[in-house]
Structure 1
Amino acid sequence: MPLDEEPEIPFFEVHEIVVPHLGHVPIVKGDFTGLPKKIQQFIAFYADYMKPRGIFICDGSDEEAHMVINKLLERGTLHHLPKYEENYICSTDPQDVARVEGKTFICTKNKHTSVARSRAGAKGGLGLWLSPEEAKKEMDERWPGCMAGRMMYVLPFCMGPLGSPLSKYGIQLTDSNYVLLCMRIMTRMSSQVFNLIGEGDFVKCVHTMGCPRPWRKKVVNHWPCNPEKVLILHFPEEHKVKSFGSGYGGNSLLGKKCFALRIASNLARDEGWMAEHMLIMGVTNPAGKERFIAAAFPSACGKTNLAMLKPSLPGWKVRVVGDDIAWMRFNDKGELYGINPESGFFGVAPGTNWKTNPNAMASFQKNSIFTNVARTADGGYFWEGMEDEVDKDIEITTWLGQPWKIGMPGKAAHPNSRFTAPASQCPIIHPRWEDPEGVPIHALLFGGRRPEGVPLVIESRSWEHGVMLGASLKSETTAAAEFKGKSIMHDPMAMRPFMGYNFGHYLQHWLDFNKPPNKMPKIYHVNWFRVGKDGRFLWPGFGENIRVIDWICRRLDGEDIAVDSAVGMLPKKGSIDLTGIEDKVNWDEMFTLPKDYWQSDIRETIEFLDTEVGDDLPPRLRQELNEQEERIKKM
């Protein structure tokens, strides 16, 4: 047996079906000849290119999912968690645990279609470009024969509600049945998609773990991958994504960041809409008035917690539309409407518990997949943050398969471990979350982890000033990316890892929306993470964040509860309802604007944007930066 030690366990007796396009590659499941010709050609080309042992055309059904789950249970890739209904856990190879931003490229004929005209010293953090010629060279070293001895799964999926005018379609080819199961949760995966595409356009997604048989390296955790050769290529001019070597999250679930942000942002630019790294939530005040808010935070900065907020103020109701990605467009009346293109939650597990996010916890009590978390001896899951919710003495198996107990050194779960759960199971999912028309967006929020200097909430002075606040977004780094340690990092618009084209052109795209008949939503910047002199958070966060949402909604209603400052509009003292938490909040410390800090911050921001975006930085944005710098000088 080869070193991969992964015997194939067939679903069915395989029948050799010779299709003219495919040679002797057998169709294991599905009706290839009944597919639209354009889709047949796509499958046939890559079957010939990647040489799979068979083709499995998926329909997204429960029966199909159970076949795959049983196969992975038998193999040892998945383990059932008997405390729950249809919940499963798996662990990846330890070398495959995060996004691979340094190996993720946009491939276009013109370099500056993809990346800005940066200046000397730029780090290239706002997207990486690879020429088509270089991309072909890299592909030729990897893709030919990459699925030899493995099954090729054909995943038809829709981003957004099936049939919605705001939705887009894709087909992913993959040799990972784990990816099949997760894509089934995260997208609308259905054989209907083949008919909805017909002979029309679709996004072509090609993924492989990069481990053809026989594989001469030892497979760890039943997770074949090829970390030395990982590469993710986007071809926006061809509406295509190709991913090699990794099975982790957004590297392999290509409907997520690759399609819904990088490719979709190109589509949005060309078609006049917005594809953003944003949650969408509906908030209803005690009087019954509902507002919808879209918010952009870097990964692991609280998007899911905010989207599923359990309000501490009586009479408020929060309902989630989406927790990670928003597609938004202005209608004929100039009203901004948004949809959640995903159908599941792919959330960071550590820190999530019944206190911090009970609605997320309720969402994954069944029909969910957990990746790189720990297991308890009684058949449950565990990660850091759940110490108060399990028996202190219970035996735990870490994500690396080691025995462990609470209080021992090290971590039981990987810091970037994840849950993948159907959005429909969230107890506060909004009844309009699959509305084909979307929901109206009344306000946009930006925010990150800023331990120093940045107040709890800032209202922008104008649409253009708000775009500048988004472009200036910074945050403490988290485990979601491939970076180590804690440092403040630029993450403009929370899109730094997900930009699909020239960031300067992207900012201009935002600025261009401010024209008749468009009614522009107000823009805010929030910071739940400022730390006081004693090293503790100045704001209690979590459910208390509804108090800031309350202030924002009152501002949307025109209440005079804001005061001008050098950096934007701040709440008038006492205008945020602090009933019951007065002793936990030092208002003056939370809203103070240290002049030295802000002078240094604006200079560093201008230097960053001048270096990374260079001559592509829109003149109006440069004007906003200069005006803010002048206001800060006069503080």
Structure 2
Amino acid sequence: MLKKNEGIDIVKELGGIQTVEEAQALFEQRLDAEHLARIRRLSHPEVLIKIANAIAMCDPGRVYINTGTDADRAFIRQLALNKGEEAVLAMDGHTIHYDLKEEQGRIIDRTYYIANPDEKISSLANKILRDDARTVVREKMAGIMNGATMVVGLYIRGPVGAAASNPALEITSSAYVSHSAEILYRNAFDDFEKEVERLGHFYTNVHSEGLNRPEDLPNARVFMDRSHRTTYSFNCTYAGNTLLLKKGNHRFSVDKAVYEGKGLELAEHMFITGIDGPDGRVTWVAGAAPSGCGKTTTAMAGNHFVGDDLAQMWIDGNKSVRSINPECGIFGIVEDVNREGDPMLMDRLRNPGSEVIWSNVLIDEDGVPHWKGNGETPPTRGRNFHGPWKKGLVDSGGKEVPISHPNARCTIASSALANYSDMAEAAEGVETRVITYSGRDSDTMPPVWVAKNSAHGVVIGACIVSAATATEVGATGVKRAPWANAPFIPGALGDYMKAQFDFFGNAAIAENKRPIMAGLNYFLTHEARGGSGTKLLGEKKDVKAWLGWLERRAHGDVEAIDTPIGFIPRYEDLKPLFETLIDKAYPKELYERQFSLYIDNILARNDLQTTAYGKEENIPQLLFDVLGEQRDGLIDLKNRFGPVVTPDQLLEG
């Protein structure tokens, strides 16, 4: 069981500030008059002591208290330019940031949970004992900001006043990190202490890029102290390792939901989008997918955009599931973002009027960004994550350097998007009626299927398998990706799974408001369904039809075909949705290829999950019961119809 405030608070010990009086004395010594006046607007003892200790430990040359004004944002952006962390581009408001070419994703091998001696963490994560972490932090972070400007920001992860929002400090010497935070999160300087009092906690994040040299990367670390909800990051620049408001604090939110939520709260790696249904109805969908597996595309396929990456969920007093986005911006992968699949995002990326931070794309000689899969004629030279680039350039290993890194990103405010919904800032959140789980699955599951009940739905999430993406340094192959949240689950998987069963099966949810739970997969290939080649069996935009069907299924407007894995659509319901939602013909032959069950592939996945979870401690028996029930049903189908079962055969019974 996770214990709050267990063991030493490392930054407090290394900083040596124990009281508010000591903190105020340090502020008077280290802050200029303007920023001393700003910090004196704060009074919460724990907040002041945390900030003071970060200053004492890191020893910056200057401290800038960011209050979120336009002037503060302009200062931070200019600081990023002055330091060379960003550079201006041809389009007004656009800048480019390059991470070290060796650090183009999350450094999972150097990311650790700080653990007390008797504390269990996820079997999929690394841990370091508290005393050892203290030694490393003292060695690597003491004085690391000497001569640099420390920017202190006070943010809220979610709308002010929301039940599941989380206040967080971002303390960094990277102006790029602070600039990104200003786009992606809500600066809540004026409301911060009120929210801390209301919610009873806050997160703290301390980061320094150090000297930003390749030779320092082996010494880069990301530490997450679960007991004191404090993160430490140093000698790294990629936002996934440095903008700890994001995935670092998401981990703390997962802990909070699992160990304090009492089956009434979740923190998920999910988009949130609203789908228009008949007669003006809007149905809200939250969906999980591993990074790089289409969350942004799926979120943008909705009519009312709230978020593309993270969701805080809770059961409210009206017996419905509510969701908010902790973020207010997009840190989105741009590879394969183009006008055909992502027209609204492309509009903002290619036309003036929005602030955009680009990272690790190619910038041509005219100051215009380019990336792989944008559907445009690529330049033959420019500068990218590797340095000066021209077509045909190879790296030291003889491998051709692509025009942009597969994990190249754009950072942009959600409010810039044409389908942005004002509900993104509603403290009450959105009533969520559909939950989806997906990954890069080329050969096994159909494009969409709905769980028979909440327990089966939790198992869909537990059993995501996905091709590795470029979001993690060194990741290759196909791997299990439970709930698309596995990298961010700090505690035992069994504890997290129990929280999922408890939440979605909770009697506090009214039956007529209980979300349907579904699998979503638009990565099936031709060769996996009797054809040839690895081209997708369908198009990215088809997800609009899958979401449209789920919207109608959530309200009981359409029937479905019963299978051992859940309910799949009928052809007569999908065909008109393709015509009306995306103006596309949907032949019966394609439907049959997509929705036939390839029994042996599904059984292999079932066995993989049963074996893998069988090695974990304290996995709820309900998971194995559901997998066993599905396996028995699949074997029965195979015995009756053979290894490939068509929808028509399923209808025969």
- The answer to whether TM tops 0.5 is yes
What's the counterpart of residue 632 of structure 1?
634
Query: Does residue 405 of structure 2 align to residue 398 of structure 1?
Result: no
Aligned to 1:15: none
Distance 1:548 1:442 in 2: 15
> 1:100 Cα shift?
1.4
Secondary structure of the corresponding residue to residue 366 of structure 2: coil
Superposed displacement of residue 585, structure 1: 5.8
Q: Which position in structure 2 is the counterpart of 1:606? A: 610
What is the Cα deviation at residue 38 of structure 1? 2.7
Q: Which structure shows the bigger proportion of residues in helix conformation? A: 2
Instruction: Call closer, same or farther: CA 1:198–1:280 in 2, change over 3 Å.
Output: closer
Q: Would you say the 8 A contact 1:393–1:406 is kept in 2?
A: no
Residue matched to 2:556? 558
**Number of the residue aligned with 2:618:** 616
Q: What is the distance in 1 between the residues matched to 2:114 and 2:84?
A: 37
**Deviating more after overlay: 502-511 vs 585-594:** 585-594
Please provide the CA RMSD for this pair: 2.4
Give, in angstroms, the shift of residue 92 of structure 1: 1.5
Question: Does residue 1:374 correspond to 2:362, yes or no?
Answer: yes
- Structure 1 counterpart of 2:404, which letter? A
Instruction: Specify whether residues 252 and 54 from structure 1 end up closer, same or farther in structure 2 by C-alpha distance, changes over 3 A only.
Output: same
Q: Which residue of 1 aligns with 2:601?
A: 597
Give 3-state SS (helix, strand or coil) of 2:456's partner. helix
1:293 counterpart (285, 289, 296): 285
Q: 1:356 to 1:136 in 2, by over 3 A?
A: same
The answer to whether residue 227 in structure 2 is matched with residue 229 in structure 1 is: no
> Residues 131-189 of structure 1: CA distance to partner in whole angstroms, max 9, x if unpaired?
22232233233222222222221111111113333322111211111111001111112
Aligned to 1:178: 176
Q: Which residue of 1 aligns with 2:645?
A: none
After superposition, the Cα gap between the structure-2 partners of 1:330 and 1:393, relative to the gap in structure 1 and judged at 3 Å, is closer
Alignment partner, residue 523 of structure 2: 529
Residue type of the partner of 2:173?
D
Specify the SS of the correspondent of 1:433. Answer: helix
Equivalent-residue separation in structure 2 for 1:470 and 1:141 (angstroms): 41
1:422 pairs, out of 409, 413, 418, with 413
Note closer, same or farther for the CA distance 1:29–1:603 as it changes in structure 2 (3 Å cut): farther
Summarize the Cα distance change of 1:103–1:193 in structure 2 as closer, same or farther, 3 Å threshold: farther
Aligned length: 585
Answer yes or no: is the 8 Å Cα contact 2:266–2:314 preserved in 1. yes
Offset at 1:204?
A: 1.2
For residues 217 and 153 of structure 2, the distance between their equivalents in structure 1, rounded to whole angstroms, comes to 24
Distance 1:228 1:483, change over 3 A: closer
Alignment partner of 1:353 out of 338, 343, 346: 338
Does residue 384 in structure 1 map to residue 372 in structure 2?
A: yes
Partner residue in 1 for 2:253:
264
Deviations 1:59-108 (A, max 9, x none): 122222222333333443322112x2211112121122111122222233
Question: Residue 3 of structure 1 aligns with which residue?
Answer: none
1:525 maps to a residue whose letter is G
Between 1 and 2, higher relative CO (CA 8 Å, sep ≥ 6) is seen in 1
Q: Is the 8 A contact 1:22 1:48 kept in 2?
A: no
Q: Indicate the residue corresponding to 1:588 in structure 2.
A: 592
Distance across 2 between alignment mates of 1:615 and 1:68 = 47
Of residues 74, 88, 91 in structure 1, which corresponds to 2:95? 88
Question: Could you tell me how far 1:113 is from its partner in structure 2?
Answer: 4.2
Q: Specify whether residues 526 and 393 from structure 1 end up closer, same or farther in structure 2 by C-alpha distance, changes over 3 A only.
A: closer
For the 8 Å contact 1:351–1:385, the answer to whether it is kept is: yes
Instruction: Give the alignment partner of residue 20 of structure 1, picking from 11, 22, 25.
Output: 25
Q: Which residue of 2 aligns with 1:152?
A: 150
CA drift at 1:349: 1.4
1:50-449 residue pairs with structure 2 within 5 A?
50-82=58-90, 84-109=91-116, 111-115=118-122, 124-125=123-124, 127-197=125-195, 201-211=201-211, 219=213, 226-259=216-249, 261-269=250-258, 270-271=260-261, 272-309=264-301, 318-364=303-349, 365=352, 366-386=354-374, 388-390=375-377, 395-404=381-390, 410-449=401-440
Q: Summarize the Cα distance change of 1:184–1:564 in structure 2 as closer, same or farther, 3 Å threshold.
A: same
Provide the rounded CA distance (Å) in 2 between the counterparts of 1:71 and 1:104.
28
Question: What SS class does the counterpart of residue 107 from structure 1 fall into?
Answer: strand
| Contact 1:539 1:584 (C-alpha < 8 Å) held by counterparts | no
Letter in structure 2 aligned against 1:521:
P
> What is the aligned counterpart of 1:472 among 450, 455, 463?
463
Question: Could you tell me how far apart the structure 2 residues matched to 1:104 and 1:208 are?
Answer: 15
Pair 71,576 (structure 1): closer, same or farther in 2 beyond 3 Å? same
> Partner letter of residue 25 of structure 1?
R
SS of the aligned residue for 1:227 comes to helix
Q: Work out the CA distance in 1 between the residues paired with 2:317 and 2:33.
A: 47
Out of 420, 436, 441, which is 1:450 matched to?
Answer: 441
Separation in 1 of the partners of 2:344 and 2:83?
33
**C-alpha distance after superposition, 1:355-413 (max 9, x if no partner):** 22122223445211011111122321111112x435x5675333333142599953121
How many angstroms apart in 1 are the aligned matches of 2:402 and 2:379? Answer: 16
Relative to structure 1, the CA distance from residue 28 to residue 428 in structure 2 (aligned partners, 3 Å threshold; closer, same or farther) is farther
How far has the Cα of 1:560 moved from its partner? 5.0
Change (3 A) 1:40 1:395: same
TM-score normalised by L of structure 2: 0.85
CA distance in 2, matches of 1:585, 1:376: 44
2:573 to 551, 575, 582: 575
Question: Are the structure 2 counterparts of residues 469 and 591 from structure 1 closer, same or farther at C-alpha, using a change threshold of 3 Å?
Answer: same
Paired residue type of 1:626:
G
- Give the Å deviation of 1:112: 4.9
Q: Helix, strand or coil for the counterpart of 1:266?
A: helix
Measured after TM superposition, the shift of residue 35 of structure 1 is: 2.3
1:263 CA displacement: 0.4
Identity among equivalent positions (%) equals 25
Question: Any gaps of 5 or more consecutive residues in structure 2?
Answer: 1-22, 395-399, 638-653
User: Which range moves more in the overlay, 59-68 or 507-516?
Assistant: 59-68
Cα offset for 1:111? 4.9
2:152 corresponds to which letter in structure 1? V
Q: Closer, same or farther in 2 for the Cα pair 1:98/1:400, shift >3 Å?
A: same
Name the amino acid aligned to 2:384. T
The one-letter amino acid of 1:595's match is I
1:493 aligns with 2:483: yes
Q: Structure 2 counterpart of 1:299, which letter?
A: S
